[in-house]
Structure 1
Amino acid sequence: MVLIRRFEERAAELRSLGYIPGFLHPYIGQEAVAVGACAALGPHDYITSTHRGHGHILARGGDPRYMYAELFARRDGYNRAKGGSLHIANIELGIIGANGIVGGGIPIAVGAGLALKQARQIAVHHPDDPRARRADGVAVTFFGDGASNQGAFHESLNLAALWRLPVIFICENNLYGEFTPQHKHQTIRDIATRASSYAVPGLIADGNDVLDVYRVVSKAAEEARKGHGPTLVECKTYRHRGHYEGDMGQYRPAEEVAFWLEADPIKNYRRLLLAGAICTEEELQALDEAVEQELEEAVAFAKASPHPAPEEALEDVFVESYGGRALL
């Protein structure tokens, strides 16, 4: 969680200095959701992310060097400067794409869930097939409260329920769809209740408590791996900054912001670790210093990475053949 927090704070600073082009949507305040959820996943699982996706990618094992390089639009980025902040993907880590379209990653995760269900069928008859390695996999899709109003959300949850796909729908309810508070775009208080329309479990986690998120997502993953189908998990949390870097967030009441800043997930977990004598103050300080060193090296790596040449614009974009077959 500290790595994600400091990565985002550094990214905001670097954008103000002109290193990062385009928009930046900080994940600051929501770190417990990404970390708790991804801690419940295994190597054969997939995730799809959102426009506010840096935290998910880091929690899944993303390398800050390649992430900063991608944000800088440099050749050594995860997607060779073609993804940018909103569209980082890495198949080796099971990250099948962050997505700038609100709710755009949800149906992609359902497609992954179908592939995983097919992998289980393949494992029965052809255990040596490489696809059989993902027979126990689940697909997780992260999205916000606003995205739960999209047709893609309802269609995806309906299909996943019908086909009993191993998909975990994680709604990060940070109380705002861009600039609009939840009560002005939904008549319900708990988004998890929408699961009942599709006869699947709807669970609620404290999105500022990393252990609670881990507990709830672990339960959903266990059910999915058993073949019991999807679960909708609502994590109630809050973003500390505006919708994007530069948005002053003046539409949010000051007392509301103060309340949620005090409920900071990192502060909460530090208190728990110290109170339980699990860590000492010195050990936590050493962790902070290690994160700073890692990010210093990551920023230096990104700054040293070359800009892509104009003629590289169409490289790594089209697949010309697959499995020896030409694609039209």
Structure 2
Amino acid sequence: MATVINTKFSSICLTADLPEEVEIESLTPQVTVTISIDEVEVFSSAYYIYGLKAYVRDIQSIVESAMLQKKLAIASFVLNVKDYENFTYTSGVIKVVYSHLKSLKGAEQALLGAFLTTRKSALLSQTCPFTLYNYAQPYQQSSNYCDIYYNMPSVQSMLKSTVTFGNKQSDTPKIIASEASYARFQNLLALSGIYNATIHRVFYRIGEREFNIYFSPTAPSDTFQFKGNFNLWETVCLFGATNSKTEIDRSEAICGNKVAYYDTSVKVKHEVETAPLTLSEAQFLTQLLSSQEITREVADGLFAPVIISDISSEVSDNNSNPIRLKFTWTYADQNEFLQ
């Protein structure tokens, strides 16, 4: 065989686990390397052979850039090599899941053992939308259920209702979305004849994946949605303080005793200081602060794009007040909303 792709790929991997370089060995003087995402070519380049070998680098950035552009969380990746004699060699079809973080125990085990988020629990308001995502293997059955912890107006003790879901199967590897909002769990209780319940916590399980959702009756100071580590929408409710500041920039001209203003621009900045956070909560929020797509809830279910800047953190050795994050946000179009 005149040309060989020496680097081996797993059938399923995270983008962060893609090899830093791909080694190609060839007896021909030149090869052409192409990379395709979901059967669409996103990269092509000629490589000259030196010492019978050539190296393709920056695979991760090429794949992630293409997935970001196409708004994909999972995709089929193929690397093809065509040598000088027009023979083509391929890596085969590899399923890649977008992730900036590497897996410690292998991508498949990581994907089957946790939801596609880096947190294990969430504190939410009773009105915000929330979705959990999981990677599904083809034709795999699993135990899917949730435990809903609630109380009734006439009963002080906590009650539990277990709801079992049908097995969601797929004929191909894919990502499945599950709505996990307060409204959905109220509807599930209603199907069991339970009305006017106040839900406090939900334990959600799909296969080996577990997630705890806590619902607060207190309205958060801000609710944001953003693209997280897996290029999927995350929802975060922040409980703290928000201060708004208005900056006015204008030029003036004096003619006689009269002053005229022109080129006036008004910019409203909102400064957020979170309530005390645990280390895991603060680490998760770094994804919000560094995300390229961020929106803020301006009405129930309505989100508007925002830009976050001026980020700082305060760390204390006091266990009751470990970490606080401060940041400033503005609407992307610089326009506020009528209240």
Pick the TM interval, shorter chain: under 0.3
Kindly indicate which of the two structures has a greater share of residues assigned to strand: 2
Kindly indicate which of the two structures has a greater share of residues assigned to helix: 1
Query: TM-score, normalised on structure 1?
Result: 0.24
Higher RCO structure (Cα 8 Å, ≥6 apart): 1
Rg: which structure is higher? 2
Query: TM-score, normalised on structure 2?
Result: 0.24
